[in-house]
Structure 1
């Protein structure tokens, strides 16, 4: 996409990031032979943030048959899972009067695992949700950019609320079985 804008340095950065991530994933599929640590994931996050910020500041464009009318909403849709996961976990921890910096198992992927999904199932679920959000951002090109972004946030909050509700129902049902 950056290539279409004439932003070659960002194109190379995006290609390098995609290539290295795909190369890493080949060795990280279960059973994993290597593991990405904190530094690797932080570096990947920085690159994604840089690319998202740059994309957000570009003008609307037609990419083949696909019109990119709201680049900022597209950036948000691409990064919606880690952003909403982080915000959800922080809000829940603060609500429970816990430090937002302490580790726990309240993240989206932990809840999906708790619902009985396998690692591959969790990955596929998050991938499909992310693809859905990107598709929504592209399809809402005729709307005002703020409305498009608001709908994306609302859909993401709805996803988190439903996930937490289903997860807590399962946890409560399992607790009642153990008591009985």
Structure 2
């Protein structure tokens, strides 16, 4: 296939997804309002009015149709399994957004979707890249570890979906990072997949952040789909770099992956630790996320999201810039940065509260 043809499918996938999602979202909003399918504010919400929460349906439609139509120029053996798993996540999310389902049921569905991708599509981690002296891993451990990673990443994106623009903005950064690397290394089939997802995310971001009368949330439908698809991009990124003996290969792919997904991974780890420390279930909902801290500091949704995205961009730049120093060294730097930026908003809140207390007692 000639390079121009590659570029055509990539551009067409992006534009088609962007335009389709942009046109579909107003209809989804009208349907949600007519059927009263709202996200009701509660004690954990950062919004005060009812907002339609079926934006994930538009993301699903834009991505799925785009990748099915414009992937015909590439032989993507595993595509049907990726789409099948995406449909499973869509079903889980849409039911949870409308009726709510038990956490255990949702987890079982996520594991099933992951297994479809792993066993049928053979998309899985096969190598630890020398971390802790481990390279190739056996099939059972490969499946088990990949399921774990997909579940963690999927729920990480689900948990950061708390303020306008954050989940879609961070997802867009992750997809763009992997997509650019796939492009410069000639893995065009995954560039098309990345382009289709990025187009849908940009359209959703516009309505989620800048919509006044047409505002919408992605709901669990969107965050579950995003978590699954970004997990797949991460797995392929790592697998293609098992033997980094080609141009633009990444020497420390696992550490770089963690850097790209820094915000959802470190925020999830942080809130889980806090919940366990407080003798609560790790899955017990609360308002301890970084974005909650940012709102408490006085930032509006867009301002908080932009700042958190800027931090994630910093992680991405550091990860790629230092990718040749080895996994252990880069992981140490990434973890240190993660701990610092996870702790910083809480520190600023405590300092502000202390100053206010001093003023009141003066």
* TM-score, shorter chain, exceeding 0.5: yes
CA contact (8 A) 2:251 2:326 kept: no
Judge which range, 6-15 or 120-129, deviates more.
6-15
SS in 2 for 1:156: helix
Q: Does 1:28 align with 2:201?
A: no
CA contact (8 A) 2:253 2:323 kept: no
Instruction: Rate the CA distance shift 1:177–1:140 in 2: closer, same or farther, 3 A.
Output: same
Judge which range, 118-127 or 107-116, deviates more.
118-127
Q: Which of 237, 248, 272 in structure 2 is aligned with 1:55?
A: 237
Query: What residue number does 2:339 align with?
Result: 157
Judge which range, 32-41 or 18-27, deviates more.
32-41
Query: What residue number does 2:282 align with?
Result: 100
Q: Does 1:14 align with 2:223?
A: no
Q: Which of 103, 108, 111 in structure 1 is aligned with 2:293?
A: 111
Judge which range, 87-96 or 6-15, deviates more.
6-15
CA distance in 1 between counterparts of 2:229 and 2:301 reads: 25
TM-score by length of 2: 0.45
For residue 112 of structure 1, report the CA deviation from its aligned partner.
0.8
Instruction: Rate the CA distance shift 1:175–1:57 in 2: closer, same or farther, 3 A.
Output: farther
CA contact (8 A) 2:253 2:327 kept: no
For residue 27 of structure 1, report the CA deviation from its aligned partner.
1.1
Q: CA offsets per residue over residues 126-148 of structure 1, 9 Å max, x none?
A: 11101111111122133122211
CA distance in 1 between counterparts of 2:354 and 2:314 reads: 30
Instruction: Rate the CA distance shift 1:176–1:97 in 2: closer, same or farther, 3 A.
Output: farther
Q: Which of 33, 37, 40 in structure 1 is aligned with 2:219?
A: 37
For residue 62 of structure 1, report the CA deviation from its aligned partner.
4.4
Larger Rg: 2
Q: Where do 5+ consecutive residues of structure 2 fail to align?
A: 1-180
Q: Where do 5+ consecutive residues of structure 1 fail to align?
A: none
CA contact (8 A) 2:255 2:319 kept: yes
CA distance in 1 between counterparts of 2:184 and 2:230 reads: 18
Instruction: Rate the CA distance shift 1:57–1:146 in 2: closer, same or farther, 3 A.
Output: farther
Query: What residue number does 1:132 align with?
Result: 314
For residue 111 of structure 1, report the CA deviation from its aligned partner.
0.3
Query: What residue number does 2:131 align with?
Result: none
Tell me the number of residue pairs that the alignment of Structure 1 and Structure 2 aligns. Answer: 177
